[in-house]
Amino acid sequence: MKRFTPKLLFIGIIVSITACNNHKNQQKMTISDSTSIFPKGEKLPNEYFTGNAFLHLVLAKDKNNEFALGSVTFEPGARTHWHTHPKGQVLIITEGEGFYQVKGKPAQLLVKGSVVNIPENTEHWHGASVNNKLVHIAITNYKGDSNVVWLQPVSDQDYQEVNKTKTHE
């Protein structure tokens, strides 16, 4: 078996350090791309949300845009109450993992790039999984002055049931 000389070991260390530095550089470049698109915003009231959910309002309804545009961040375990939208809502998942469930139907797993086109007057909830945060852009259409009707909380039992079969870890 070949014996390592101190010289060879020294070369080995230099190669290791160079490789490390390359990793550091790549990591630095990547981190600058992995920040969230929007700030977390303001905490949403537990009157309508379970756990810690936050809204960054991007644009309010105006004369051209007949919708409110916002970014919603759900910490792990956080979710909306059951609710409906009189003229529907579009969700674009930008980070994390979570669920969308229409009353009486199986939940749909949401990941980055998922898009949900929520129909009008359809009882549903959305939120993070128990282990991961979820961030989505929401485009919420208005019917007159109304864009949401809030209902009862999603029970812990219903939420845990959905998470049992679906979360990634």
Residues of this chain that interact with a second copy (CB under 8 A) are: 4, 6, 9-10, 12-13, 16-17, 19-20, 23-24, 26-27, 30-31, 33-35, 37-38, 58-59, 62, 64-67, 69, 87-88, 90, 92-95, 112-113, 115, 117, 119-120, 137, 139, 141
Measured from the CB atom, the residue of 93 and 154 that comes closer to a second copy is: 93
Q: Which two tokens stand for residue 127?
A: 């939120």
Measured from the CB atom, the residue of 60 and 161 that comes closer to a second copy is: 60
| Smallest gap from residue 60 Cβ to a second copy (A) | 10
Q: Which two tokens stand for residue 54?
A: 């936050």
| Smallest gap from residue 114 Cβ to a second copy (A) | 10
| Smallest gap from residue 49 Cβ to a second copy (A) | 23
Residue 21 φ then ψ, to 5°: -60, -40
Measured from the CB atom, the residue of 39 and 46 that comes closer to a second copy is: 39
Cβ proximity of 135 and 72 under 8 Å: yes
| Smallest gap from residue 161 Cβ to a second copy (A) | 27
Measured from the CB atom, the residue of 65 and 155 that comes closer to a second copy is: 65
Torsion sign (Cα): 77, 100, 69, 71 = positive
Measured from the CB atom, the residue of 126 and 159 that comes closer to a second copy is: 126
Q: What is the dihedral of CA 88, 139, 149, 156, to 10 degrees?
A: 100
For 7, the 3-state DSSP assignment is helix
d(CA 103, CA 142): 22
| Smallest gap from residue 45 Cβ to a second copy (A) | 25
Residue of 33, 42, 45, 154 whose CA lies nearest to 98: 154
